[in-house]
Structure 1
Amino acid sequence: MDQDDTPAAPFAAMMQMQTKIMQDMLGTVLPAGQMPDAPMMPFPTVEMSPSSLEDWQAVSQKLQMMWQEFQAEQSQSAEPKLALVDPLEWLGAMQNWYRQMPISKPDAQKQLWEESLELWQTVLGRYGIGPEALKERETDLPRSDRRFKDRRWSDQPAFALIHQTYLLISERLHAMVDEIEGLDDAKRKQLRFATKAMIEAMSPANFPTLNPLVIERTLETKGESLVSGMENLFTDLKRGQLTHTDPDAFTLGENIAATPGKVVHETPLYQVIQYSPTTPTVLETPLVIFPPWINRFYILDLNPKNSFIRWAVEQGVTTFVVSWKSADSSMSDIVWGDYIRAQIDVIDYIRERLKVPSVHTIGYCVAGTTLAAALAILHARDQQDKVKSATFFTAQVDFTKAGDLLHFIDDQQLAGIEKLCTDGYLDGRYMAAAFNLLRGNSLIWNYWVDNYLMGNGYPAFDLLHWNGDVTNLPAKWHQAYLRDLYRDNKLIQPGALEADGEPIDLRLVKTPSYVQAGKEDHIAPAESVWEITNHFNGPLRFVLAGSGHIAGVVNPPESGKYQYWTNTADPQSLGEFIAGATETAGSWWPDWIEWLRSQDTTEIPVKGKRKPGGKGDKTIEDAPGRYVMTR
């Protein structure tokens, strides 16, 4: 690679190039003789002294050497790698649809040009430039977006023009999706999602020579921020995953997933953790939590201040949690029925361990979906009394309104996902990329700018640490889940699916249920979660919590955040529920524990196996156990 081809090509050349682009663009808009002078230029003037030139040359050499070392390391390593997942790669499948975009029509081009001309004259007029120049500068620009709220995006007219033009084009592209003729509703929604992802990726904030914050940072550090950014980039390329937080800030069992307890049971698929009691008496009926196996269970045990598990223990509830094993080649034949059977087996194990007739259950996300199926099977076998109550955290059973994830489950997408599976499992980094894509600005491009372009260090944030602690998924289960539930919506069809040799009919379920949904949930939309009320036939309490899929669940009372809504009438839709709902400030956790206690108030002293690892109780290891640490 020639020096001029490295990422460290002289920064001044990039500045000149971008300035020339801006001058050419403005020259098509402004009348002759009204081209702005230096204040219009998008980059500050930099005096290049001999010492400064030496500094920039040193940075250039560092970057070139880093690139060469990275290339050499990649070519010599025999270890299979997963490249950093490109979240936009799958959009290529939609290129035929984009050819239909009305932008190619002369009328649309004319309209866009006229709107652009009007915008440019309006924006520049606020800086005293052009025929629409104002006598006094106006600070408010026509369009606003939080990505461009920093004053440096509006201090200079060039950057104002750049991001305002981007926002205009974004609006027009979104509108054009609705103008395409001949698309069915599903394809149009998919194209909307793809267009949104593409527009987010093309933000000027994501390009170093268009982002004034990046330019300023680069100049202030004399290019050292580029070195730090490239180090971050190469680290992520090697691990095949975008880093959101300091990877060394947390240690399982010490400052995260640290609620005391013991692993009391395990199989090749899961471990069962029982937590040590902190109260002299506990509810006789214990609680078992089934977290999703697409993530690590400790989302419910991040730290003492926001741990649902610790809080439940402190309420006098004997609490068990299932820690699922991250898939490997030994799990190539695991299907969704295995997870349903595992839940039933865990229920039976706890009943036997504590000598109780029934348990309370919680199913979070996909584990809530399988819990619903497990309840249907227990009812079909007349064994429903094994479960005293069921709580569902953001769980879906009817996938008609399942939101943006529906965009990943047409035949073409399913075939593409199947090709990614090796040795019988799907690498969790692909799932992480897909979920990040659902919130591209927040979970991809924000970190693209901060980590790679600005070269900043990583924060210590437990939630983001958990988010990056990915799990692998059994390939057969994953394909069947997307196909049978998301695409074909078979779970709500009586007898269409079976598990453990039993047809599944959700209409049989009469277990008292507490259903929690997140008002802003983009993974399991509240409207989709609501549908469980149309399929169960037992007493059910629906609660709509503020925030989304994670923060809506992990919201301890002490935080004082958000709110929740309840409705004691008999609403027939989520809209009716909201219209007649009562809002309560703060966490919904106290509402849940009150509901749980109403199912059975019997308490007993803590003795025997109520305290895991006590006299005569042989346990396997301390919480959080080995399975949560396997990759």
Structure 2
Amino acid sequence: MPDDSATIERLATGTATLADLQHWTWVLGRAQQMLLEHGIHTMEAAELPGWSDPSAFARASTDFWADTMKLWQRFLDPAQAEPGDEPPEHARDRRFKAPQWRENPLFDFLRQSYFLIADHMLKGVDAIEGVDAKQKEQIRFATRNFIDAMSPTNFPATNPQVLERIIETRGENLLKGLENMLADIGKGQLTHTDDAAFELGENIATTPGKVVKRTPLYELIQYTPSTKQVYQTPLIIFPPWINRFYILDLSPEKSFIKWAVDQGLTVFVVSWKSADASMKDVVWDDYVERGQIDAIDTVREMLDVESVHTIGYCVAGTTLAATLAVLAARDEAEKVASATFFTAQVDFTEAGDLNLFVDDEQMKLVDMLSGDGYLDGRYMAATFNLLRGRDLIWNYVTNNYLLGEDYAPFDLLHWNADVTNLPAKWHHSYLTDLYRDNLLVKPGALAIGGTAIDLARVKTPTYVQAGREDHIAPAKSVWKITEYFAGPLKFVLAGSGHIAGVVNPPAAGKYQYWTNDKPAATLAEFVAGATETKGSWWPDWVAWIAAQSPDKVDAKGARLPGKGRVKAICDAPGEYVRTR
């Protein structure tokens, strides 16, 4: 074969010779064969009942070679070939948006060949017989991740943009990419953004406030009012302890906390402590009793009010549901005036791809990684990255390892990488009791401090928000809250997913949300009769909050952080959010 550098340049510029094309024709054909053989061997190694006969793969892909021959004909003799109908999802795939993937026949063939193999591998999984639904979903998930990993965009020799960058920089992009990769290996975590671009209290988590309480489990932050009068009933936000609280206080333009303060709410936020060895015995009871109920009682006493509004985000919403049930069972439900749930689940029968990580082998891995009594937050970060591997893993492999590009500053991704450690005992029971065994929705199956949990006893006015494209807490799963609570409830379906569907300030003018005042038995029925409103759902929520407790008081005394009986400990965002 001719000189490699010259070949690379001809491939990148679309001037490949006959010898180049002959070589790459062989490479592409061999690549197809290797991918198919790997799929067969993977199924055989898994010892799946439906794959005891290797011919099952061939039967599931009987039209593969016919499709392949059509593709080859379009490549070798496009004038005589049948026109190909490219599925919309292929045409929209952002990995192949560069024009080189279509203008250069060689890379166009490589792109289409990749899609062809991927589609047939997934068809092969769908054709598996003799396995239960969960096992088939695990196989489908693993296959999708393998397909994403094998994309030609992920390798220098098969990505035209990388080839062009190699020529342009004389290979320096690969050296810069290697530097990026070695840095990630050193810290044990994939980098998504420029870490130096953000500093807590400087350009993120900047809403003025004070830490007014610190326990071994959490800090309680009270924010400074920005209006002369505030609603009498304060608001406590419980963020997930899997992540840092400042997802709700990014830049001032995106901050839900600042926006809520500006609407006249007295806002408190719980900042959970990142677990260390001292928290090895922390369990769910602690997050309910010593966490949420303690914070509720603290604020009630600080401000001398009978009740508080509450928000629970994701896993903290699941815990809030348990808190409400415990308070109801103890005849203390009046402590909570309302409960809002951001993308939270109580019934985990349709909890999405995270359910694939709670089998016995996965739990053994979690236990093995939790030797000091806590689980390193980087493990959970890697798990969530896998759920969107194409966007959160391979996109950065291509851009920052192969193309050698600098990391762009992005506050949301900075937060995403700012991991927290989890108490091992609690995390294990959370995965097994809730995700695996679904005990929260079984009356009396779980108890907190001896108080049995029955969600049917919850009559607290409730606002439930779900994200239409949420891959962590699917909307169908979040909807199930409506099937258990007994009090007045409003369900809102927001555009976008687990984060952007929540962090969507009105000024941005993005997305939309759906409401439906008529009774609906299912999410599909809700959507069928729903009214769509453009923009953020935040104004709808605050109007709902105001309707629950319309009375206002002057923003003075204890409404000012540190000015009442409880003195301030330090400025927001506090110390726990900085603990690594």
From 416, 419, 433, the equivalent of 2:368 is 419
2:496 counterpart residue number: 547
Runs of 5+ consecutive residues of structure 2 not aligned to the other structure: 30-41
Residues 11-26 of structure 1 aligned to structure 2 (within 5 Å):
23-24=22-23, 26=25
State the shift of 1:191 in Å.
1.1
From 149, 172, 184, the equivalent of 1:201 is 149
Question: What's the Cα RMSD here?
Answer: 2.5
Distance 1:349 1:234 in 2: 47
State the shift of 1:26 in Å.
3.1
1:505 counterpart residue number: 454
Distance 2:84 2:169 in 1: 30
State the shift of 1:108 in Å.
5.5
From 231, 247, 263, the equivalent of 2:211 is 263
In the alignment, is residue 280 of structure 1 matched against residue 228 of structure 2?
yes
Residues 49-448 of structure 1 aligned to structure 2 (within 5 Å):
95-97=46-48, 105-107=57-59, 111-126=63-78, 132=80, 144=91, 145-341=93-289, 342-448=291-397
Asked whether the equivalents of residues 44 and 51 of structure 2 are also in contact (C-alpha less than 8 Å), the reply is no
Instruction: Provide the secondary structure at the position in 2 that maps to 1:370.
Output: helix
2:548 counterpart residue number: 599
Question: Could you say if the C-alpha distance between residues 222 and 355 of structure 1 is closer, same or farther in structure 2, counting changes exceeding 3 Å?
Answer: same
State the shift of 1:337 in Å.
1.3
Asked whether the equivalents of residues 124 and 161 of structure 1 are also in contact (C-alpha less than 8 Å), the reply is no
Instruction: Provide the secondary structure at the position in 2 that maps to 1:175.
Output: helix
Asked whether the equivalents of residues 51 and 57 of structure 2 are also in contact (C-alpha less than 8 Å), the reply is no
State the shift of 1:17 in Å.
12
Distance 2:511 2:141 in 1: 28
Distance 2:138 2:359 in 1: 10
State the shift of 1:92 in Å.
11
Question: Could you say if the C-alpha distance between residues 280 and 456 of structure 1 is closer, same or farther in structure 2, counting changes exceeding 3 Å?
Answer: same
State the shift of 1:624 in Å.
0.2
State the shift of 1:180 in Å.
1.2
Distance 1:294 1:371 in 2: 15
Distance 1:618 1:109 in 2: 70
The normalised TM-score by structure 1 is 0.84
Letter in 1 for 2:120: R
State the shift of 1:626 in Å.
0.5
State the shift of 1:580 in Å.
0.5
Question: Could you say if the C-alpha distance between residues 599 and 102 of structure 1 is closer, same or farther in structure 2, counting changes exceeding 3 Å?
Answer: farther
Instruction: Provide the secondary structure at the position in 1 that maps to 2:196.
Output: coil
Letter in 1 for 2:552: E
State the shift of 1:197 in Å.
0.9
Runs of 5+ consecutive residues of structure 1 not aligned to the other structure: 1-8, 31-90
State the shift of 1:113 in Å.
2.4
Residues 213-266 of structure 1 show CA distances to partners (whole Å, capped at 9, x for unaligned) of 011011100111111101100110000000000010000001000100000001
Asked whether the equivalents of residues 101 and 176 of structure 1 are also in contact (C-alpha less than 8 Å), the reply is no
Distance 1:180 1:147 in 2: 29
Asked whether the equivalents of residues 60 and 127 of structure 2 are also in contact (C-alpha less than 8 Å), the reply is no
Question: Could you say if the C-alpha distance between residues 376 and 133 of structure 1 is closer, same or farther in structure 2, counting changes exceeding 3 Å?
Answer: closer
Question: Could you say if the C-alpha distance between residues 186 and 548 of structure 1 is closer, same or farther in structure 2, counting changes exceeding 3 Å?
Answer: same
The normalised TM-score by structure 2 is 0.91
Distance 1:520 1:192 in 2: 19
Distance 2:120 2:397 in 1: 25
State the shift of 1:610 in Å.
0.4
Q: Percent identity?
A: 59
1:455 counterpart residue number: 404
Question: Could you say if the C-alpha distance between residues 226 and 444 of structure 1 is closer, same or farther in structure 2, counting changes exceeding 3 Å?
Answer: same
Asked whether the equivalents of residues 282 and 603 of structure 1 are also in contact (C-alpha less than 8 Å), the reply is yes
Instruction: Provide the secondary structure at the position in 2 that maps to 1:321.
Output: strand
Instruction: Provide the secondary structure at the position in 2 that maps to 1:529.
Output: helix
Deviates more, 1:149-158 or 1:512-521: 149-158
Distance 2:506 2:546 in 1: 18
State the shift of 1:103 in Å.
6.9
Instruction: Provide the secondary structure at the position in 2 that maps to 1:457.
Output: coil
Question: Could you say if the C-alpha distance between residues 284 and 92 of structure 1 is closer, same or farther in structure 2, counting changes exceeding 3 Å?
Answer: farther
Question: Could you say if the C-alpha distance between residues 242 and 478 of structure 1 is closer, same or farther in structure 2, counting changes exceeding 3 Å?
Answer: same
Letter in 2 for 1:334: V
Distance 2:8 2:361 in 1: 40
State the shift of 1:416 in Å.
1.8
Instruction: Provide the secondary structure at the position in 2 that maps to 1:323.
Output: strand
Instruction: Provide the secondary structure at the position in 2 that maps to 1:495.
Output: coil
Asked whether the equivalents of residues 103 and 176 of structure 1 are also in contact (C-alpha less than 8 Å), the reply is no
Question: Could you say if the C-alpha distance between residues 22 and 351 of structure 1 is closer, same or farther in structure 2, counting changes exceeding 3 Å?
Answer: farther
Distance 2:301 2:45 in 1: 54
Distance 2:121 2:9 in 1: 29
Distance 1:168 1:92 in 2: 19
In the alignment, is residue 474 of structure 1 matched against residue 423 of structure 2?
yes
Asked whether the equivalents of residues 101 and 180 of structure 1 are also in contact (C-alpha less than 8 Å), the reply is no
Residues 408-466 of structure 1 show CA distances to partners (whole Å, capped at 9, x for unaligned) of 11112111221121201111111011101111111111011001000000111100100
1:48 counterpart residue number: none
Q: Which has the larger radius of gyration?
A: 1
Instruction: Provide the secondary structure at the position in 2 that maps to 1:174.
Output: helix
Deviates more, 1:295-304 or 1:150-159: 150-159
Instruction: Provide the secondary structure at the position in 1 that maps to 2:521.
Output: coil
2:477 counterpart residue number: 528
Q: How many residues matched?
A: 556
2:568 counterpart residue number: 619
2:37 counterpart residue number: none
Asked whether the equivalents of residues 271 and 324 of structure 1 are also in contact (C-alpha less than 8 Å), the reply is yes
